[in-house]
Amino acid sequence: MSDQAWYRDLARPINHAARTAAEARNQRLTKPAGSLGRLESIAVDFAGWQGDERPGVPRPVIRIFAGDHGVCSRNVSAYPQEVTAQMIANFLAGGAAISVLATQNDADLGIVNLGTVVPESGTAIYAELVAALNGSGPRFADLQLMPGTDDFVDGPAMPAVVCEAAMAAGRDQVTAVAADGPSIFVGGEMGIGNTTAASALCSLLLDLPPSDTVGPGTGVTGDALAAKRDVVQQALDRHRADVSDAVDGLARLGGLEIAGLVGAYIACAQQGIPVLVDGFITSAAAVTAVNINPGVAPWLCFSHRSAEPAHVTVLRHLNAEPLVDFGMRLGEGSGSALVVPLLQSAVALHSQMATFDEAGVSDQ
Protein backbone atom coordinates (compact mmCIF):
# COMPACT_ATOMS: atom_id res chain seq x y z
CA MET A 1 0.00 0.00 0.00
CA SER A 2 1.50 3.29 -1.11
CA ASP A 3 2.48 6.06 1.30
CA GLN A 4 0.84 8.40 -1.22
CA ALA A 5 -2.59 6.86 -0.65
CA TRP A 6 -5.45 9.28 0.00
CA TYR A 7 -5.76 8.29 3.65
CA ARG A 8 -2.33 9.76 4.39
CA ASP A 9 -3.25 13.22 3.08
CA LEU A 10 -3.18 15.88 5.79
CA ALA A 11 -6.25 16.52 7.89
CA ARG A 12 -7.73 20.02 7.90
CA PRO A 13 -6.24 22.12 10.71
CA ILE A 14 -8.39 23.31 13.59
CA ASN A 15 -9.18 27.04 13.36
CA HIS A 16 -7.58 28.31 16.55
CA ALA A 17 -8.50 31.95 15.87
CA ALA A 18 -12.18 30.95 15.86
CA ARG A 19 -11.66 29.00 19.08
CA THR A 20 -10.10 32.02 20.75
CA ALA A 21 -12.94 34.27 19.59
CA ALA A 22 -15.50 31.75 20.81
CA GLU A 23 -13.83 31.58 24.21
CA ALA A 24 -14.03 35.38 24.44
CA ARG A 25 -17.69 35.36 23.39
CA ASN A 26 -18.45 32.72 26.01
CA GLN A 27 -17.15 35.07 28.69
CA ARG A 28 -19.61 37.78 27.55
CA LEU A 29 -22.78 35.64 27.50
CA THR A 30 -25.53 36.37 30.02
CA LYS A 31 -24.56 33.71 32.55
CA PRO A 32 -22.00 33.28 35.31
CA ALA A 33 -18.63 32.18 33.95
CA GLY A 34 -18.44 28.39 33.69
CA SER A 35 -22.08 27.89 34.66
CA LEU A 36 -22.88 25.75 31.61
CA GLY A 37 -20.04 23.40 32.44
CA ARG A 38 -18.83 21.17 29.65
CA LEU A 39 -21.39 22.59 27.22
CA GLU A 40 -19.14 25.66 26.99
CA SER A 41 -16.03 23.75 25.92
CA ILE A 42 -18.09 21.74 23.41
CA ALA A 43 -19.26 24.97 21.77
CA VAL A 44 -15.67 26.22 21.58
CA ASP A 45 -14.69 22.92 19.94
CA PHE A 46 -17.36 23.43 17.29
CA ALA A 47 -16.10 26.97 16.68
CA GLY A 48 -12.67 25.54 15.95
CA TRP A 49 -14.12 22.81 13.76
CA GLN A 50 -16.37 25.14 11.76
CA GLY A 51 -14.02 28.14 11.73
CA ASP A 52 -16.71 30.42 13.12
CA GLU A 53 -16.96 32.23 16.46
CA ARG A 54 -20.71 31.46 16.37
CA PRO A 55 -20.91 27.95 14.86
CA GLY A 56 -24.05 26.60 13.27
CA VAL A 57 -26.06 23.87 14.98
CA PRO A 58 -24.78 20.61 13.46
CA ARG A 59 -27.00 18.17 11.60
CA PRO A 60 -26.27 14.51 12.39
CA VAL A 61 -25.14 12.26 9.55
CA ILE A 62 -25.30 8.62 10.62
CA ARG A 63 -23.72 5.82 8.61
CA ILE A 64 -23.92 2.20 9.73
CA PHE A 65 -21.25 -0.03 8.20
CA ALA A 66 -21.96 -3.77 8.19
CA GLY A 67 -19.83 -6.82 7.55
CA ASP A 68 -19.36 -10.42 8.68
CA HIS A 69 -16.30 -12.02 10.26
CA GLY A 70 -14.69 -15.32 9.37
CA VAL A 71 -13.44 -15.75 12.93
CA CYS A 72 -17.05 -16.48 13.92
CA SER A 73 -16.35 -20.07 12.90
CA ARG A 74 -14.47 -20.29 16.21
CA ASN A 75 -17.58 -19.60 18.30
CA VAL A 76 -16.52 -16.18 19.55
CA SER A 77 -20.07 -14.79 19.64
CA ALA A 78 -23.25 -15.65 21.50
CA TYR A 79 -25.27 -14.92 18.34
CA PRO A 80 -25.31 -16.75 14.99
CA GLN A 81 -23.68 -15.02 12.05
CA GLU A 82 -26.89 -14.66 10.05
CA VAL A 83 -27.94 -11.96 12.53
CA THR A 84 -25.74 -9.44 10.68
CA ALA A 85 -27.82 -9.67 7.51
CA GLN A 86 -31.05 -9.81 9.50
CA MET A 87 -30.11 -6.60 11.28
CA ILE A 88 -29.35 -4.86 7.98
CA ALA A 89 -32.93 -5.63 7.01
CA ASN A 90 -34.08 -4.35 10.42
CA PHE A 91 -32.17 -1.08 9.90
CA LEU A 92 -33.81 -0.63 6.51
CA ALA A 93 -37.26 -1.38 7.92
CA GLY A 94 -36.79 1.11 10.76
CA GLY A 95 -36.96 -1.40 13.61
CA ALA A 96 -33.51 -1.03 15.21
CA ALA A 97 -32.51 1.22 18.08
CA ILE A 98 -30.44 3.43 15.79
CA SER A 99 -33.42 3.72 13.45
CA VAL A 100 -35.55 5.14 16.26
CA LEU A 101 -32.83 7.53 17.42
CA ALA A 102 -32.09 8.68 13.87
CA THR A 103 -35.75 9.53 13.36
CA GLN A 104 -35.88 11.35 16.68
CA ASN A 105 -32.82 13.40 15.67
CA ASP A 106 -34.03 14.00 12.10
CA ALA A 107 -30.70 12.54 11.02
CA ASP A 108 -29.42 11.62 7.59
CA LEU A 109 -29.26 7.85 8.09
CA GLY A 110 -27.53 5.46 5.74
CA ILE A 111 -26.62 1.77 5.79
CA VAL A 112 -23.55 0.41 3.98
CA ASN A 113 -23.26 -3.34 3.51
CA LEU A 114 -19.59 -4.10 2.91
CA GLY A 115 -19.87 -7.86 2.92
CA THR A 116 -22.03 -10.49 4.59
CA VAL A 117 -22.17 -14.27 4.36
CA VAL A 118 -25.82 -14.44 3.31
CA PRO A 119 -26.38 -16.26 0.01
CA GLU A 120 -27.11 -14.11 -3.03
CA SER A 121 -30.81 -14.86 -2.72
CA GLY A 122 -30.72 -13.27 0.72
CA THR A 123 -29.56 -9.93 -0.62
CA ALA A 124 -32.75 -9.77 -2.66
CA ILE A 125 -34.50 -9.05 0.63
CA TYR A 126 -32.62 -5.75 0.85
CA ALA A 127 -33.70 -4.76 -2.64
CA GLU A 128 -37.30 -5.64 -1.86
CA LEU A 129 -37.24 -3.56 1.32
CA VAL A 130 -35.68 -0.57 -0.43
CA ALA A 131 -38.24 -0.79 -3.23
CA ALA A 132 -41.13 -1.07 -0.77
CA LEU A 133 -39.91 2.01 1.12
CA ASN A 134 -39.98 3.98 -2.15
CA GLY A 135 -37.40 6.51 -1.04
CA SER A 136 -38.79 6.99 2.45
CA GLY A 137 -36.22 4.82 4.23
CA PRO A 138 -32.51 5.29 4.95
CA ARG A 139 -29.93 5.53 2.21
CA PHE A 140 -28.54 2.11 1.33
CA ALA A 141 -25.34 1.01 -0.40
CA ASP A 142 -25.11 -2.75 -0.99
CA LEU A 143 -21.42 -3.08 -1.89
CA GLN A 144 -20.68 -6.69 -0.83
CA LEU A 145 -16.91 -6.46 -1.30
CA MET A 146 -16.50 -10.06 -0.18
CA PRO A 147 -18.79 -12.52 1.67
CA GLY A 148 -17.46 -11.54 5.08
CA THR A 149 -13.81 -11.60 6.08
CA ASP A 150 -11.71 -14.74 6.32
CA ASP A 151 -10.71 -16.34 9.63
CA PHE A 152 -7.77 -14.23 10.76
CA VAL A 153 -6.27 -17.10 12.75
CA ASP A 154 -5.64 -18.94 9.48
CA GLY A 155 -4.46 -15.89 7.50
CA PRO A 156 -5.27 -12.23 6.82
CA ALA A 157 -8.88 -11.24 7.41
CA MET A 158 -9.02 -9.66 3.95
CA PRO A 159 -6.78 -8.91 0.99
CA ALA A 160 -5.09 -5.51 1.05
CA VAL A 161 -7.09 -4.38 -1.98
CA VAL A 162 -10.37 -5.19 -0.25
CA CYS A 163 -9.30 -3.35 2.88
CA GLU A 164 -8.52 -0.27 0.81
CA ALA A 165 -11.89 -0.60 -0.97
CA ALA A 166 -13.71 -0.72 2.37
CA MET A 167 -11.83 2.36 3.59
CA ALA A 168 -12.67 4.13 0.33
CA ALA A 169 -16.33 3.23 0.81
CA GLY A 170 -16.24 5.03 4.16
CA ARG A 171 -14.53 8.01 2.55
CA ASP A 172 -17.14 8.16 -0.18
CA GLN A 173 -19.98 8.31 2.35
CA VAL A 174 -18.37 11.39 3.87
CA THR A 175 -17.52 13.05 0.56
CA ALA A 176 -21.16 12.78 -0.50
CA VAL A 177 -22.33 14.98 2.40
CA ALA A 178 -19.33 17.27 2.89
CA ALA A 179 -20.91 20.24 1.11
CA ASP A 180 -24.27 20.05 2.90
CA GLY A 181 -23.49 22.53 5.68
CA PRO A 182 -22.59 22.13 9.36
CA SER A 183 -22.82 18.51 10.37
CA ILE A 184 -21.44 15.93 12.75
CA PHE A 185 -20.66 12.41 11.62
CA VAL A 186 -21.83 9.39 13.59
CA GLY A 187 -20.37 6.06 12.53
CA GLY A 188 -22.10 2.88 13.59
CA GLU A 189 -21.36 -0.77 12.97
CA MET A 190 -23.04 -4.13 12.66
CA GLY A 191 -21.15 -7.40 12.40
CA ILE A 192 -21.44 -10.49 14.56
CA GLY A 193 -17.93 -11.20 15.85
CA ASN A 194 -16.68 -7.65 15.55
CA THR A 195 -15.67 -7.25 19.19
CA THR A 196 -13.15 -10.01 18.54
CA ALA A 197 -11.70 -8.12 15.58
CA ALA A 198 -11.72 -4.84 17.52
CA SER A 199 -9.94 -6.50 20.44
CA ALA A 200 -7.29 -7.96 18.15
CA LEU A 201 -6.68 -4.55 16.57
CA CYS A 202 -6.42 -2.84 19.96
CA SER A 203 -4.02 -5.50 21.23
CA LEU A 204 -1.88 -5.02 18.14
CA LEU A 205 -1.85 -1.23 17.97
CA LEU A 206 -1.71 -0.55 21.71
CA ASP A 207 0.59 -3.48 22.53
CA LEU A 208 -1.84 -4.99 25.03
CA PRO A 209 -2.50 -8.64 25.93
CA PRO A 210 -5.91 -10.10 25.04
CA SER A 211 -6.74 -10.23 28.73
CA ASP A 212 -6.88 -6.42 28.59
CA THR A 213 -8.84 -6.09 25.36
CA VAL A 214 -11.21 -9.05 25.02
CA GLY A 215 -14.59 -8.67 26.73
CA PRO A 216 -18.00 -10.33 26.62
CA GLY A 217 -19.24 -8.63 23.45
CA THR A 218 -22.67 -10.11 22.77
CA GLY A 219 -22.61 -11.92 26.12
CA VAL A 220 -19.74 -14.42 26.05
CA THR A 221 -18.66 -15.45 29.56
CA GLY A 222 -16.71 -18.11 31.47
CA ASP A 223 -14.88 -20.71 29.41
CA ALA A 224 -16.20 -19.18 26.20
CA LEU A 225 -14.63 -15.84 27.11
CA ALA A 226 -11.33 -17.55 27.83
CA ALA A 227 -11.55 -19.27 24.45
CA LYS A 228 -12.26 -15.93 22.76
CA ARG A 229 -9.11 -14.48 24.33
CA ASP A 230 -7.15 -17.50 23.14
CA VAL A 231 -8.41 -16.94 19.59
CA VAL A 232 -7.16 -13.35 19.66
CA GLN A 233 -3.80 -14.48 21.04
CA GLN A 234 -3.48 -17.02 18.23
CA ALA A 235 -4.19 -14.30 15.68
CA LEU A 236 -1.61 -11.98 17.23
CA ASP A 237 0.98 -14.76 17.29
CA ARG A 238 0.36 -15.41 13.61
CA HIS A 239 0.46 -11.83 12.33
CA ARG A 240 2.26 -9.49 14.71
CA ALA A 241 5.80 -10.04 13.44
CA ASP A 242 4.74 -9.44 9.83
CA VAL A 243 2.59 -6.31 10.25
CA SER A 244 4.18 -3.42 8.35
CA ASP A 245 1.86 -0.59 9.47
CA ALA A 246 -1.63 0.11 10.80
CA VAL A 247 -3.27 -0.30 7.39
CA ASP A 248 -1.67 -3.72 7.04
CA GLY A 249 -2.78 -4.55 10.58
CA LEU A 250 -6.32 -3.53 9.68
CA ALA A 251 -6.30 -5.85 6.67
CA ARG A 252 -4.92 -8.72 8.73
CA LEU A 253 -7.03 -8.41 11.89
CA GLY A 254 -9.89 -6.01 11.21
CA GLY A 255 -13.34 -6.25 9.73
CA LEU A 256 -14.87 -4.77 6.64
CA GLU A 257 -17.12 -2.52 8.71
CA ILE A 258 -14.19 -1.41 10.88
CA ALA A 259 -12.23 -0.52 7.74
CA GLY A 260 -15.23 1.47 6.51
CA LEU A 261 -15.29 3.41 9.77
CA VAL A 262 -11.54 4.06 9.58
CA GLY A 263 -11.89 5.48 6.08
CA ALA A 264 -14.86 7.62 7.12
CA TYR A 265 -13.07 9.05 10.15
CA ILE A 266 -9.99 9.97 8.13
CA ALA A 267 -12.13 11.57 5.42
CA CYS A 268 -14.07 13.57 8.03
CA ALA A 269 -10.83 15.06 9.36
CA GLN A 270 -9.70 15.86 5.82
CA GLN A 271 -13.07 17.46 4.96
CA GLY A 272 -13.44 19.34 8.24
CA ILE A 273 -16.34 17.36 9.70
CA PRO A 274 -16.24 16.49 13.42
CA VAL A 275 -16.79 12.85 14.36
CA LEU A 276 -18.90 11.64 17.27
CA VAL A 277 -17.35 8.28 18.20
CA ASP A 278 -19.64 5.62 19.67
CA GLY A 279 -18.48 2.62 21.72
CA PHE A 280 -15.72 0.02 21.74
CA ILE A 281 -15.82 -1.05 18.08
CA THR A 282 -15.85 2.49 16.75
CA SER A 283 -13.15 3.49 19.22
CA ALA A 284 -10.98 0.67 17.89
CA ALA A 285 -11.56 2.20 14.45
CA ALA A 286 -10.61 5.59 15.87
CA VAL A 287 -7.35 4.18 17.29
CA THR A 288 -6.59 2.73 13.88
CA ALA A 289 -7.47 5.95 12.04
CA VAL A 290 -5.28 8.06 14.34
CA ASN A 291 -2.42 5.57 13.95
CA ILE A 292 -2.69 5.87 10.16
CA ASN A 293 -3.22 9.64 10.12
CA PRO A 294 -2.48 11.46 13.42
CA GLY A 295 -4.29 14.58 12.20
CA VAL A 296 -7.59 12.76 12.76
CA ALA A 297 -7.35 13.02 16.57
CA PRO A 298 -8.48 16.67 17.01
CA TRP A 299 -11.66 15.94 15.02
CA LEU A 300 -12.90 13.22 17.38
CA CYS A 301 -15.51 13.66 20.11
CA PHE A 302 -16.38 10.63 22.24
CA SER A 303 -20.03 10.13 23.05
CA HIS A 304 -20.15 7.60 25.87
CA ARG A 305 -18.21 5.11 27.94
CA SER A 306 -19.19 1.61 26.85
CA ALA A 307 -19.83 -1.19 29.31
CA GLU A 308 -17.39 -3.28 27.24
CA PRO A 309 -14.43 -3.44 29.70
CA ALA A 310 -11.63 -2.59 27.24
CA HIS A 311 -13.28 0.65 26.20
CA VAL A 312 -11.89 2.43 29.26
CA THR A 313 -8.37 1.43 28.21
CA VAL A 314 -8.88 2.66 24.67
CA LEU A 315 -10.34 5.97 25.85
CA ARG A 316 -7.38 6.47 28.16
CA HIS A 317 -4.97 5.88 25.28
CA LEU A 318 -6.79 8.49 23.19
CA ASN A 319 -6.92 10.98 26.10
CA ALA A 320 -10.67 11.00 25.60
CA GLU A 321 -13.31 11.96 28.15
CA PRO A 322 -16.71 10.67 26.97
CA LEU A 323 -19.79 12.79 27.41
CA VAL A 324 -21.95 10.25 29.29
CA ASP A 325 -21.80 6.83 30.90
CA PHE A 326 -25.13 5.02 30.71
CA GLY A 327 -23.76 1.46 30.80
CA MET A 328 -24.56 0.97 27.10
CA ARG A 329 -22.87 -1.56 24.78
CA LEU A 330 -25.33 -1.97 21.91
CA GLY A 331 -23.25 -0.45 19.13
CA GLU A 332 -24.97 0.66 15.91
CA GLY A 333 -23.96 4.23 16.75
CA SER A 334 -26.74 4.29 19.35
CA GLY A 335 -24.71 5.91 22.13
CA SER A 336 -23.61 8.68 19.79
CA ALA A 337 -27.10 9.29 18.46
CA LEU A 338 -28.33 9.56 22.03
CA VAL A 339 -26.04 12.49 22.82
CA VAL A 340 -26.43 14.42 19.55
CA PRO A 341 -29.02 16.73 21.19
CA LEU A 342 -26.46 17.61 23.89
CA LEU A 343 -24.03 18.83 21.25
CA GLN A 344 -26.75 20.71 19.40
CA SER A 345 -27.82 22.40 22.64
CA ALA A 346 -24.23 23.40 23.40
CA VAL A 347 -23.85 25.09 20.02
CA ALA A 348 -27.29 26.72 20.12
CA LEU A 349 -26.70 28.17 23.59
CA HIS A 350 -23.34 29.58 22.62
CA SER A 351 -24.41 31.04 19.29
CA GLN A 352 -27.90 32.27 20.15
CA MET A 353 -27.67 33.55 23.74
CA ALA A 354 -27.30 37.29 24.15
CA THR A 355 -24.17 38.90 25.52
CA PHE A 356 -24.39 41.22 28.53
CA ASP A 357 -24.08 44.24 26.21
CA GLU A 358 -26.74 42.99 23.79
CA ALA A 359 -29.22 42.25 26.58
CA GLY A 360 -28.48 45.39 28.55
CA VAL A 361 -27.66 43.28 31.58
CA SER A 362 -25.00 44.39 34.06
CA ASP A 363 -22.11 41.99 34.40
CA GLN A 364 -20.80 43.64 37.59
Q: Hey, which residues are catalytic here?
A: 332
CA atoms within 13 A on the CB side of 302: 27
Q: What whole-number distance in Å separates Cα of residue 245 and Cα of residue 29?
A: 47
Nearest to 262 by CA among 291, 219, 232, 229: 291
User: Is the CB of residue 185 less than 8 Å from the CB of residue 174?
Assistant: yes
Report how many helices (DSSP H) and strands (DSSP E) the chain contains, helices first.
15, 6
For residue 188, what are the β-bridge partners?
64
Q: 187 near 262, Cβ under 8 Å?
A: no
SS3 30: coil
The number of residues in the chain equals 364
Residue 79 class from Cβ within 10 Å (0-12 exposed, 13-18 middle, 19+ buried)?
Answer: middle
**Strand stretches in the chain, DSSP E:** 59-67, 108-115, 139-142, 183-190, 275-277, 300-302
- Give 140's strand partners: 111
Strand bridging mode 183-190 / 59-67: parallel
Please give the torsion angle defined by the CA atoms of residues 333, 48, 315 and 236, in that order, rounded to the nearest 10 degrees: 80
CB atoms within 10 A of CB 207: 9
User: What is the rounded CA–CA span in Å between residue 118 and residue 120?
Assistant: 6
Q: What whole-number distance in Å separates Cα of residue 302 and Cα of residue 293?
A: 18
| C-alpha to C-alpha distance for 169 and 141, rounded to whole angstroms | 9
Q: What are phi and psi of 349, to 5 degrees?
A: -60, -45
Q: What is residue 55's DSSP assignment? A: P
H or E segment and range at residue 13: none
